[in-house]
Amino acid sequence: MPPRRQLTIEERDRAIGWLNEGVSLREAARKLNVTPSVIHRLSQCFRETHIVHDGRPRSGCPRVTTPAEDRNLLISALRNRTVTANSLRRTLRAATHTDASDQTVRNLLRARNVRPRRQASPSPIPHNCSLRLGWTAHSLDTSTVVFCRLHR
């Protein structure tokens, strides 16, 4: 049995053309490498609607970004982990003229398991040794420190 797949619009056109020329269902199915039932359903649908394309409604919202734009957003987010969804959306808009919402960008990154990284708040302790000692002496109030001796 041939693998299950969708017929393209061109293949559907060819199948209907062959059937109108008098080619059998089995022969048309063999030429397109599908089962005869696929061609039979196609011919029935064509007889009823006179439309070749698959006009079934699809669930869900249509995609806003292409796979290439998704990769571009992902690479940009991985290169700069602290960038916001809003700035990623603006760079996508400038590069490709695609209007995607901030939430669309967040959903895309979440689907690829890319979590936002926020900068840590800067430490109030200075890095220089002499400044650090001065900060310690200034910040600690030694009058409230109680020393005790523990015995075991």
Residue 124 lies in a domain: no
Convert the pLDDT of each residue in 106-148 to its tens digit.
999 999 999 877 766 666 665 676 776 676 776 666 555 555 5
Q: Are residues 71 and 106 located together in one domain of the fold?
A: yes
Residue 1 lies in a domain: no
Residue 95 lies in a domain: yes
Residue 90 lies in a domain: yes
pTM value is 0.46
Q: Are residues 45 and 72 located together in one domain of the fold?
A: no
DSSP string across the chain: -PPP-PPPHHHHHHHHHHHHHT--HHHHHHHHTS-HHHHHHHHHHHHHH---S------SPPPSS-HHHHHHHHHHHHHSTT--HHHHHHHHHHHH-----HHHHHHHHHHTT----PPPPPPSS-SSHHHHHHHHHHH--GGG--------
Each of the 152 residues of the chain gets a pLDDT tens digit; together they read 555 678 888 899 999 999 999 999 999 999 999 999 999 999 998 888 888 877 667 778 888 999 999 999 999 999 998 899 999 999 999 999 999 999 999 999 999 999 877 766 666 665 676 776 676 776 666 555 555 566 55
User: Which residue range is the domain that position 24 belongs to?
Assistant: 9-49
Residue 138 lies in a domain: no
Q: Count up the domains in the chain and report the number.
A: 2
